[in-house]
Structure 1
Amino acid sequence: MEPKLVFAVLLLISVAVSAEYVRPPPRKTLDFPWSEKPSSHPQQVHISLAGDNRMRISWVTDDKSAHSTVEYGTSPGKYSAKSRGESTSYKYLFYSSGKIHHTIIGPLEPNTVYFYRCGGQGVEYQLKTPPDQFPITFAVAGDLGQTGWTESTLDHIDQCKYDVHLLPGDLSYADYMQHRWDTFGELVEPLASSRPWMVTQGNHEKESIPLLVDGFASYNSRWKMPYEESESSSNLYYSFEVAGAHIVMLGSYADYDEYSDQYHWLKADLAKVDRAKTPWLLVLLHVPWYNSNKAHQGEGDDMKAAMEPLLYDAKVDLVLAGHVHAYERSSFLNAWLFDLQKRVHNGNSDPCGPVYITIGDGGNKEGLASKYIDPQPKWSAFREASFGHGEIQIVNSTHAFWSWHRNDDDEPVRSDSIWINSLVSSGCLSEQKFGARKSLL
Structure 2
Amino acid sequence: MPKAAAAANLMLCLFLLVLTFFEISTADNYVRPPPRQTLHFDFRSKSSSKLPQQVHISLAGNNYMRVSWVTTDKSSPSTVEYGKSPGEYSSIAEGETTSYKYLFYKSGTIHHSVIGPLEPNSIYYYRCGGQGPEFQLKTPPSKFPITFAVAGDMGQTGWTKSTLDHIGQCNYDVHMLPGDLSYANYLQHRWDSFGELVQPLASARPWMVTEGNHEEESIPLLKDGFESYNARWKMPFEESGSSSNLYYSFEVAGVHAIMLGSYADYEEDSDQYSWLKADLLKVDRKRTPWLLALFHVPWYNSNTAHQREGDRMMSAMEPLLYAAGADIVLAGHVHAYERSKRVYQGKSDPCGAVHITIGDGGNQEGLANKYKDPVPEWSVFREASFGHGELKMVNSSHAFWSWHRNDDDEPVRSDQVWITSLVSSGCVDMKNYELKEKLVAP
Relative to the length of structure 1, the TM-score reads 0.92
Q: Which residue of 2 aligns with 1:19?
A: 28
Alignment deviations for residues 130-175 of structure 1 (CA, whole Å, 9 cap, x no partner): 0000000000000000000000000000001110000000000000
Instruction: Give the conservation status (yes or no) of the 8 Å contact 1:250–1:284.
Output: yes
Q: In the alignment, what sits opposite 2:45?
A: 36
CA distance in 2, matches of 1:274, 1:242: 13
Indicate whether 1:227 and 2:227 are aligned.
Answer: no
| Residue deviations 1:371-419 (CA, integer Å, cap 9, x gap) | 0100110100000000000000000000000000000010000000000
Q: How many percent identity over aligned positions?
A: 74
Distance 1:140 1:51, change over 3 A: same
Is 1:433 paired with 2:434?
yes
Q: Distance in 1 between matches of 2:116 and 2:434?
A: 42
2:224 equivalent among 185, 196, 214: 214
**Other-structure match for 1:243:** 253
Residue number in structure 2 paired with 1:364: 363
1:323-381 Cα shifts (integer Å, max 9, x gaps): 000000001xxxxxxxxxxx100011111000000000000000000001001101000
Give the match for residue 160 of structure 1. Answer: 170
Aligned-pair CA distance for 1:33: 1.9
Find out whether 1:197 has 2:198 as its counterpart.
no
State the one-letter code of the partner of 2:408: D
Assess, with a 3 A threshold, how the Cα gap between structure 1 residues 15 and 193 changes in structure 2: closer, same or farther. farther
Maintained 8 Å contact 2:62/2:251:
no
Q: Which has the larger displacement, 174-183 or 28-37?
A: 28-37
| C-alpha separation in 2, matches of 1:15 and 1:256 | 42
1:336 corresponding residue in structure 2: none
Q: Which amino acid aligns with 2:78?
A: S
What pairs with 1:391-410 in structure 2 (closer than 5 Å)?
A: 391-410=390-409
SS state at 1:298 partner: coil
Question: What residue number does 1:123 align with?
Answer: 133
Distance 1:326-1:14 versus aligned 2 partners, 3 A rule: farther
The 8 Å contact of residues 19 and 384 in structure 1, kept in 2 or not, is answered as no
Contact 1:18 1:384 in 2 (8 A): no
Indicate conservation of the 8 Å contact 1:18/1:415, yes or no.
Answer: no
Task: Report the Cα offset of residue 14 of structure 1.
Answer: 6.0
Deviation at 1:11, TM superposition (A): 9.4
Deviation string for 1:269-324 (max 9, x for gaps)?
01110000000000000000000000000000000000000000000000000000
Q: Is 1:292 equivalent to 2:291 in the alignment?
A: no
Call closer, same or farther: CA 1:230–1:34 in 2, change over 3 Å: same
Verify the 8 A CA contact 1:139 1:390 in the aligned structure 2: yes
* CA deviation after TM superposition for structure 1 residue 39, in Å: 3.6
CA drift at 1:262:
0.3
Distance in structure 2 (CA, Å) of the matches to 1:222 and 1:71: 21
Residue identity opposite 1:27 in structure 2: R
Give the TM-score taking structure 2 as reference length.
0.92
Match of 1:46 in 2: 56
Offset at residue 35 of structure 1 (A):
5.2
Cα distance between partner residues in 2 of 1:12 and 1:201: 42
CA distance in 1, matches of 2:204, 2:90: 19
CA contact (8 A) 1:251 1:285 kept: yes
Distance 1:16 1:240, change over 3 A: farther
Query: In the alignment, residue 31 of structure 2 is paired with which amino acid?
Result: V
| CA displacement at 1:18 relative to structure 2 | 3.0
Equivalent-residue separation in structure 2 for 1:345 and 1:10 (angstroms): 36
Flag the 1:11–1:153 CA change in 2: closer, same or farther, 3 A. farther
Q: Cα 1:399–1:14, aligned 2, differ >3 Å: closer, same or farther?
A: farther
* 2:272 paired residue among 262, 278, 286: 262
Structure 1 unaligned blocks of 5 or more: 2-6, 332-342, 435-441
Q: Who is 1:111 aligned against?
A: 121
Secondary structure class of the residue paired with 1:433: helix
Aligned residues: 418
The alpha-carbon deviation at position 34 of structure 1 amounts to 2.8
Question: CA shift at 1:17, angstroms?
Answer: 4.2
TM-fit CA distance, 1:19? 3.5
What secondary structure is seen at the aligned counterpart in 1 of 2:275? helix
1:52 deviates by 2.0
Q: How far, CA to CA, are the matches of 2:24 and 2:352 in structure 1?
A: 24
1:121 is displaced (CA, Å) by 1.0
Bigger helix share:
2
CA contact (8 A) 2:254 2:288 kept: yes
**What value does the CA root-mean-square deviation take over the aligned residues?**
1.8
In the alignment, the residues of structure 2 paired with residue 330 and residue 300 of structure 1 have an alpha-carbon distance, to the nearest angstrom, of 16
Q: Output the CA distance in 2 between the equivalents of 1:355 and 1:151.
A: 28
Say which SS state the counterpart of residue 311 (structure 1) adopts. helix
Range with bigger deviation, 318-327 or 9-18: 9-18
Q: Report what 2:6 is aligned to.
A: none
Residue 12 of structure 1 and its aligned partner are, at CA, apart by: 9.8
Secondary structure at 1:59 match in 2: strand
* Contact 1:40 1:121 (8 Å CA) reproduced: no
Give the SS at the match of 2:45: coil
CA distance in 1, matches of 2:28, 2:237: 41
Distance 1:113 1:423 in 2: 33
CA distance in 2, matches of 1:35, 1:158: 28
Provide the secondary structure at the position in 1 that maps to 2:339. Answer: strand
